[in-house]
Amino acid sequence: MTRLLDKVSLVTGAAQGIGLATALRFAREGAIVIVCDVKAAAVDEAVRQCQAQGGRAEGHVLDVTDRARVDAVVADVLARHGRIDVLVNNAGITQDARLQKMTLEQFDRVIDVNLRGVFHCAQVVADAMVQQGSGVILNASSVVGIYGNYGQTNYAASKFGVIGFTKTWSRELGPKGIRVNAVAPGFIATPILHTIPDKVITEMEHRVPLRRLGQPEEIASVYAFLASDDASYINGAVIEVSGGMSV
């Protein structure tokens, strides 16, 4: 499929997990993928993988908490390509602890990356999209941002906040031709789970009616759909992709 043919698509946190799967899916669908992540070697490898399957991609080292760097990357993309059609705000981190044990540093770091970083990228890209009269902004929320989760005060707050961003921006930017939606993944088999004991993974699987974890590619396929014209009347939505774990 080439539903995203020639669409300039900037993906943050694109060097591993859901972000990498999204970059690869977009590349296969014909997009010009702008791979952004914090580690240069990982960015280079993600770009290589996109190009190895025949896609077009370029990379930028980007810390989404650094507004000056966000400005610079977006300016470079606009100078090269003249437009940005899709932004996938995928970059995010976890630093878990119960409320009484969470440090201020843990709280601030997660909010800074997961919430402020999404704001930085969307605000800068929105200016370009408004000027061109079209665009799609896709935000990574989570089922934790809908239902909460033990030990994730900071993460839940950030992902609730992303939903608030999505609802608000869909109202503000919709009249200007820009669609804004969010995806709320459930338990997905990404490197972030590598430190979790097998017993806990099994318990997670049993909370899902499909009795398995999701794959990054299953989230990427939803992003690809939402970025495409097939989703032309979807705006302000939060799509849960969790195998039915909230049923």
Which domains does the chain show, CATH number per domain? 8-184+216-236 (3.40.50.720)
Q: How far is CA 98 from CA 106, 136, 144, 213, 226, in A?
A: 11, 36, 14, 24, 35
Q: Pick the catalytic residue: 147, 150, 155, 233?
A: 155
**pLDDT number for residue 1:** 75
**What are residue 97's DSSP bridge partners?**
152
Distance CA 225, CA 142 (A): 18
172 vs 180: CA distance, rounded Å: 10
Looking at residue 196, its pLDDT comes to 78
Strands (E), the chain: 8-12, 32-37, 56-61, 86-89, 135-140, 178-185, 238-241
Mean pLDDT by 10 residues, the chain (247 residues): 95 98 98 98 98 97 98 98 98 96 98 98 98 98 95 97 98 98 96 81 93 97 98 98 93
First-to-last C-alpha distance (Å) of the chain: 32
Environment class of residue 56 by beta-carbon count within 10 Å: exposed (0-12), middle (13-18) or buried (19+)? middle
The pLDDT of residue 175 is 98
pLDDT of the residue at 158: 98
Q: Is 155 a catalytic residue?
A: yes
pLDDT attached to residue 200: 87
pLDDT for residue 224: 98
Cβ-contact 96, 153 below 8 angstroms: no
Phi, psi at 2, each rounded to 5°? -130, 50
